[in-house]
Every structure is written in structure tokens, then in C-alpha cells.
Amino acid sequence: MLLIHCPYCGARAQDEFHYRGDANVERPAPHAGQKAFYDFVYARDNPRGWHVEWWHHYAGCRRWVKIERNTVTHEIRTVKGPTQDTR
């Protein structure tokens, strides 16, 4: 079980959060084409190591946070609000 330090609530158990996906994906321009939107919706990297992710604190403040997590060790390096840069 991970212990996630929500920037709004403090340390909370992973059970209070839902993983919501890769935080590095950016929406393509409106006329970027079908392939760009297919990749935006379905294509994801499966990185080994550090990765920036969206998590939703659904059982707490109900805010989305960006978590920098190591996908091998599950170590969490940073947890920030959606408008704060994680790097």
C-alpha cells in the first residue's frame, strides 16, 4: 500500500485515491487528424522508472494531483496540485 502525501490533506492511504493516467499526455490540436486523436485516447507508453501520473483523491479533498512515481519501486518523489509543475 502506498502512502500518498496529498498537498491539500496530508498523508493518506492509497485506498483514498484512484489512478487516472499519464500526466504527460497533451490533447492534440483540433485539426490534428484521426491518428493523433487515436494516440491521445488509446496509445500509452509503459515506462520503467519515473513517471508523472494523475491521481484523484476521491475519498478526501476530491482534487486531482500529479504524482511522480517510480513504476518499479513505487517510490513517490513528488505530489503536487494540477497547476504545479512536478519537475
Of the candidate residues 2, 25, 36, 61, the single one contacting Zn ion (CB under 5 A)? 61
Q: Contact 45/22 with Cβ under 8 angstroms?
A: yes
φ and ψ at residue 45, rounded to 5 degrees = -75, 160
Of the candidate residues 4, 52, 53, 57, the single one contacting Zn ion (CB under 5 A)? 57
- Binding status of residue 4 toward Zn ion by CB under 5 A: no
Of the candidate residues 5, 8, 19, 58, the single one contacting Zn ion (CB under 5 A)? 8
Rounded Cα distance, 71 and 22, in Å: 12
- Binding status of residue 37 toward Zn ion by CB under 5 A: no
Rounded Cα distance, 4 and 76, in Å: 8
φ and ψ at residue 39, rounded to 5 degrees = -60, -40
- Binding status of residue 67 toward Zn ion by CB under 5 A: no
Name the segment binding Zn ion (CB under 5 A); options: 21-29, 43-51, 59-67, 72-80: 59-67
Residues at the interface with Zn ion (CB under 5 A): 6, 8-9, 57, 60-61
